[in-house]
Amino acid sequence: MSDAITDVLNWLESRKDIQSLRAAVCDLNGIMRGKRIPVEQARKALKGKLRMPYSA
């Protein structure tokens, strides 16, 4: 795991007040698509294994 990912995970662990994250991408039409995920899934999201909604 890269140092940047480890740093983010350590920071999130130290911030008990943060309970969820927002993952978002812009689709081909310029519309933001995303979801809110629990902090416990941050490792999965940072490794690129988070499923996002499809649109076209």
pLDDT of residue 54: 72
Question: Rounded CA gap, 53 and 24, in Å?
Answer: 10
- Give per-residue pLDDT as tens, 18-27: 999 998 888 8
Give the sign of the dihedral formed by CA 16, CA 39, CA 6, CA 22: negative
Selected residue with higher pLDDT from 38 and 43: 38
What amino acid occupies position 54? Y
Reported residue count of the chain is 56
The band of 55, judged by pLDDT with boundaries at 50, 70 and 90, is low
pLDDT of residue 17: 96
Average pLDDT over residues 5-13: 93
DSSP code, position 36: E
DSSP code, position 39: G
